[in-house]
Amino acid sequence: MGFEQGLSGLNTSSQNLDVIGNNIANSSTVGFKASTTQFADVYANSLYGNGSLTAGLGTRVAAVAQQFTQGNITVTNNPLDVAINGSGFFQLADQSGGGVTSYTRNGQFQLNNSGYLVNSTGQYVCGGTGTPVPIQINTANLVPAATTGVTASLNLNPSSSVLPTSGFSPTTSSSYDYSTTATVYDSQGNTHALGLYFVNTGLNASNQGTWQVYSTIDGSSTSQNLGSISFTSSGQPTTTPLTFSPSAASMGFTSSSGAALTDPIALDLSGVTQQAGNSGVNSISQAGGNAGGSLVNLSIDSQGNINGIYSNGSSQTLGQISLATFNDPNGLIPLGNNQWAATLTSGQGTPNTPGTGVAGSLQAGATEDSNVNLTNSLVDLIVAQRSYQANAQTIKAEDTILQTLVNL
């Protein structure tokens, strides 16, 4: 027996203790991935030697492999903290105009004084739908805008009274069968009520139920005739999409402050039906318009969209986090600070939209814990310590044998 076996065992046991100790030290590090020591035996055989009679020369560390298993998710109070539930990595850049330089699972983010989303070391978090670029959040106030369109989904009762269109007046409820309103905005962010009125005019020449549509602004007595809608026997409109263009000026809209309403507003009634039951609105919404407002909060959804919430109740998407995936994550090189760099073995990171493929979805206001199992690590530590002691014992035994030979 030589000293090589015992020395190699001491060296590998020492490295194993280092790996286990590093795991234990990072058991509370956000996004940390535990490592395991992989061993290989060592032999020195001649080409035609009898391997069954050859003792090995000990052991060596074949690799220190990281385990990219999912860590537990812990909820935090920071809306910009993000946890990955999947196999993806956040992408980081060292400069605001540079490309991706490293990857991480640590989603503890904040905004710097320029509005960029950064990590604790000041590196820029990258995203977008194409080539990943640093994410910069526009924190400016929301500028007022006029409504450009209204979409309404509603049902009209075919049993409603048939009325003459010549007698319609928005101020006379008996001159129409159904009415509803939608909130719209002018160019200064002021709200206005767009009134829609429906008059059942009976069957047309094609034996289809027909309704005349009128519109007003802010309850004005001046109305605009938008045209008619006809329905099939199943209650569906004969033409889709069914759009009208109410003109604010034609509806008597005036503004002493110079505020304007987009003229015309695109009115989409393709969701209207004529079916048994009471007339009523299923949904109605405006597009393009909003009041002015300041940014009061940010939220991140499971697809990585960063949504700004404003004091006027509006919300806008201000950016999107993307995730990178790798053919072989074990080929990544650890850089410290919970970061890795791509190599030829790992392959270059492929950007993915969160929620697609194996990249995983995101959970905002949360972080991913270290995946170190502290109980298992403490047991591994005991085993590694015993292995170290056993290898030291083989060297001691060899020393005793040599001493005996010297004494002969």
149-287, what's its fold? Answer: Tick-borne Encephalitis virus Glycoprotein; domain 1 (2.60.98)
Closest alpha carbon to 15 in 332, 397, 393, 387: 387
How much is the pLDDT for 44?
Answer: 67
3-state SS of the chain is: CCHHHHHHHHHHHHHHHHHHHHHHHCCCCCCCCCEEEEEEEECCCCCCCCHHHCCCCEEEEEEEEECCCCCCEEECCCCCCEEEECCCEEEEECCCCCCCCEEECCCCCEECCCCEEECCCCCEEEECCCCCEECECCCCCECCECCCEEEEEEEECCCCCCCCHHHCCCCCHHHCCEEEEEEEECCCCCEEEEEEEEEEEEECCCCCEEEEEEEEECCCCCCEEEEEEEECCCCCECCCCCEECCCCHHHCCCCCCCCCCCCCCEEECCCCEECCCCCEEEEEEEECCECCECEEEEEECCCCEEEEEECCCCEEEEEEECEEECCCHHHCEEEECCEEECCCCCCCCEEECCCCCCCCEEEECEEECCCCCHHHHHHHHHHHHHHHHHHHHHHHHHHHHHHHHHHC
Kindly report whether the peptide bond that precedes residue 164 is cis, defined as omega within 30 degrees of 0: no
CA distances from 27 to 30, 183, 385 (A): 8, 54, 20
**84 vs 91: CA distance, rounded Å:** 12
Residue 392 to residue 323: CA distance in whole angstroms: 47
Query: What is the pLDDT at residue 353?
Result: 94
Radius of gyration of the chain (CA): 36
CA distance 323 to 201: 57
Regions of the chain short of the pLDDT cut 50: none
Pick the closest to residue 134 from 88, 96, 89, 82 (CA basis).
96
In this predicted structure, what is the pLDDT of residue 52? 58
What is the predicted pLDDT for the residue at 50?
Answer: 58
The per-residue pLDDT for 49 is 56
Supply the pLDDT for residue 240.
Answer: 59
pLDDT on residue 274: 95
Q: Give the predicted TM-score (pTM) of the model.
A: 0.74
Per the rule left: phi > 0, alpha: psi between -120 and 50, beta: everything else, 97 is alpha
CA nearest 84: which of 357, 384, 399, 390? 357
pLDDT at 263: 81
pLDDT of residue 96: 79
- The rounded distance, in Å, linking the Cα atoms of 187 and 7 is 81
CA-nearest of 323, 357, 302, 300 to 128 is 323
d(CA 45, CA 56): 9
The letter for the amino acid at 236 is Q
Q: What angle do CA 32, 34, 35 make, to 5 degrees?
A: 135
Q: How far apart are CA 189 and CA 249, in angstroms?
A: 18
List the domain boundaries for the chain: 3-69+371-407, 73-140+296-368, 149-287
What per-residue confidence (pLDDT) applies to 176? Answer: 96
Amino acid at 181: T
Place of tokens 């020449």: 205
Q: What is the pLDDT of residue 53?
A: 53
